[in-house]
Structure 1
Amino acid sequence: MAQMNMGQTEAEGNSDTKESSLWKEAWKRLLKNRIAMLGLAIISILLVVAIFAPVLAPYDPLKTNVIQRLKAPSFSHWLGTDDLGRDILSRIIYGSRISIQVGVISVSLALVLGVTLGVLAGYYGGWIDSLVMRLIDIMLAFPSILLAIVIMAILGPQLSNAMIAIGFVNLPRFARIVRSSVLSVKEEEYVSAAQSLGSSDFRIITKHILPNCLAPLTVQSTLSIATAILEAAGLSFLGLGAQPPTPEWGAMLSSGRSAIQVAPWVVAFPGLAIMITVLGFNLFGDGLRDALDPKMKD
């Protein structure tokens, strides 16, 4: 019994050492990627802006002033005002909080559900695999935005419901990634050794299989946050996500489209905020993918 425990501990130690070395090498490669560092800088600035929004915002994002409506950018209002006289810069700053919240919560939901389904399908196979993958195929048959709209029509137009809808439509990506990783990893010798030593399925999955899925999941999570922010803005633009007067970027685009000809800054700056944010997460995600690819050489 002692020999079995020693063998199991040794196998786990070797696996942990291998994972630690992989992440150290990946970090070194990531630091050398200037494009990825640019994306990380954009994300870092976004986080700082979101955290210190009350300090950085010059005005109350919800306070209206009809006298100041549709004012062009000036020293008093750097990005101008909207159709209700609200400061656009302040609303964009507070909108960063909502975008990060939507991205993190919706992707976390997709990650938890997708990993669970992917592990069940890949590890146990058989009818469980067939059932899960057919459900995933059905979901992938619909355009993601259309599926999100259908879910929002059922749940109702609300930001929290938008997070649920976005998490649900992003679930298949994580499920397929985890399933393919599990199918590959479960054939490795250290997994067979753990099974022969009497380890439970839960222990094998958590100690041996899931750690080997972290690299592709990390990359997909980063890229999915960008997708989630974009999808949330699309739902809010259609009136299905954040509701007025919430300072959400997509809702700002929707409310400002009627004044686009006389005050183009009303939609230009929120659109620019969405573009820069999505670009930052995509650049960093692409850099992570390259850094975590063992085939990449310095």
Structure 2
Amino acid sequence: MSLQPSPLPEPHATDQNSIYEHQGQSMWKRTISQLIKRKTSLIGFSIILFIVVTALLAPVIATHNPTAQSITDRYLAPSSEHYLGTDELGRDIFSRIVYGTRISIQIALISVGISLVIGVILGCLAGYFGRWIDQVIMRVIDVMMAFPSILLAIALVAVLGPGLKNAMIAVGIVGIPQFARIVRSIVMSVKETEYIEAARAIGAKHGRILFQHVLPNSLAPIIVQATLGMGTAILDAAGLSFLGLGAQPPTPEWGAMLSDGRAALQTAPWVVAFPGLAIFLFVLGFNLFGDGLRDAIDPRLKE
């Protein structure tokens, strides 16, 4: 009677999924731990949290109606009645900035959402299938990146028409190339790994491979790019509003407030100083948090 070792059982799909899930949980735990250790990321997160809370509690925090006009109160300096002064129509600047946080968050989320969805789809198609699909998509992306982002956004708004909704669409389209190029590079490297080859060998369809195996391993850089893209979206939208192509009066959008107050820059500097400071803090918060998130996710970067 010959004794032969029994073959080891092959891992089931459920076992592999549990391994991937455990690895994903470990990565996010490590990411959160690294974020907590970085002061800059905590500062950025605190700024973002402050802006979100301000937007949610805008009716409680605001001291005046943001669109109410009072000609007798034009260009009042900051005081106990008007914390940040008033503008050329006597509107309370503090209340307009507080309500402007809602518009800025809306701009950031919708614009980046458009960029993310379309960019991820194009990047997946180009990176996974390659060949002529990759050539066509990437040549279009190259053409879009040949133009400065603000000029391309102005051209798109000129076609679509001025307004906050069209400005968000234009800013979203301008941000597509960054997501497409990042996702394409990741997909091209991930699709050559052993577990993707194994999925193809058992007859998995392209859609299942992309959505169950490739995209989950591409989430980290996509999230980082989305976080950094929030600040860029606000700057582009503010630039369009400053030129009169974005939010229209009396919408309390920070870029439009800068445009309305530039005529009184020397006589009433608070009219442009405080909206500009709001834009600065918003962009700074997302940039600091995005940089910290990128460093925390990248395993090559250690303390």
Q: If the TM-score is normalised by the length of the shorter chain, which range does it land in?
A: over 0.9
The Cα shift of 1:197 comes to 1.5
Residue 266, structure 1, aligned to residue 271, structure 2: yes
Residue 169, structure 1, aligned to residue 174, structure 2: yes
Q: Please tell me the residue identity of whatever aligns with 1:187.
A: E
The answer as to whether partners of 1:15 and 1:208 remain within 8 angstroms in 2 is no
Aligned-partner Cα distance in 2 for 1:151–1:194:
42
Residue 139 of structure 1 corresponds to which residue in structure 2? 144
Q: TM-score, normalised by structure 2?
A: 0.95
Q: How does 1:166-205 map to 2 (within 5 A)?
A: 166-205=171-210
Secondary structure, in 3 states, of the residue corresponding to 2:217?
helix
Cα deviations across residues 72-102 of structure 1 (Å, max 9, x unaligned)? Answer: 0001001000000000000000000000000
Residue 238 of structure 2 corresponds to which residue in structure 1? 233
Secondary structure, in 3 states, of the residue corresponding to 1:82?
coil
Match of 1:280 among 282, 285, 288: 285
Residue 103 of structure 1 corresponds to which residue in structure 2? 108
Aligned-partner Cα distance in 2 for 1:277–1:26:
23
Aligned-partner Cα distance in 2 for 1:13–1:154:
50
Match of 1:297 among 280, 289, 302: 302
The Cα shift of 1:259 comes to 0.9
Match of 2:89 among 81, 84, 97: 84
The Cα shift of 1:285 comes to 0.3
Q: Please tell me the residue identity of whatever aligns with 1:209.
A: V
Residue 71, structure 1, aligned to residue 80, structure 2: no
Identical-residue share of aligned pairs (%): 59
Aligned-partner Cα distance in 2 for 1:9–1:183:
26
Secondary structure, in 3 states, of the residue corresponding to 2:12?
helix
The answer as to whether partners of 1:223 and 1:282 remain within 8 angstroms in 2 is yes
Aligned-partner Cα distance in 2 for 1:248–1:171:
24
Secondary structure, in 3 states, of the residue corresponding to 1:240?
coil
RMSD: 1.1
The answer as to whether partners of 1:8 and 1:197 remain within 8 angstroms in 2 is no
Q: Which runs of 5+ in 2 are unaligned?
A: 1-9
Count of paired positions: 294
Aligned-partner Cα distance in 2 for 1:175–1:10:
32
Match of 2:253 among 240, 245, 248: 248
Residue 129 of structure 1 corresponds to which residue in structure 2? 134
The answer as to whether partners of 1:8 and 1:194 remain within 8 angstroms in 2 is no
Aligned-partner Cα distance in 2 for 1:79–1:200:
59
Aligned-partner Cα distance in 2 for 1:250–1:199:
49
Residue 38, structure 1, aligned to residue 37, structure 2: no
The answer as to whether partners of 1:12 and 1:207 remain within 8 angstroms in 2 is no
Match of 1:156 among 145, 161, 164: 161
Residue 214 of structure 1 corresponds to which residue in structure 2? 219
Aligned-partner Cα distance in 2 for 1:193–1:12:
14
| Alpha-carbon spacing, 1:265–1:272, altered in 2? closer, same or farther (3 Å) | same
Q: Which runs of 5+ in 1 are unaligned?
A: none
The Cα shift of 1:7 comes to 3.5
The Cα shift of 1:15 comes to 2.0
Aligned-partner Cα distance in 2 for 1:47–1:98:
11
Residue 25, structure 1, aligned to residue 30, structure 2: yes
Secondary structure, in 3 states, of the residue corresponding to 1:230?
helix
Aligned-partner Cα distance in 2 for 1:11–1:225:
35
Aligned-partner Cα distance in 1 for 2:190–2:64:
54
The Cα shift of 1:181 comes to 0.3
Q: Please tell me the residue identity of whatever aligns with 2:201.
A: S
Is 38-47 or 22-31 further displaced after alignment?
Answer: 22-31
Aligned-partner Cα distance in 1 for 2:232–2:280:
11
Q: Please tell me the residue identity of whatever aligns with 1:249.
A: W
Q: Please tell me the residue identity of whatever aligns with 2:264.
A: A
The answer as to whether partners of 1:114 and 1:172 remain within 8 angstroms in 2 is yes
Q: Please tell me the residue identity of whatever aligns with 1:224.
A: G
| Alpha-carbon spacing, 1:223–1:213, altered in 2? closer, same or farther (3 Å) | same
Q: TM-score, normalised by structure 1?
A: 0.97
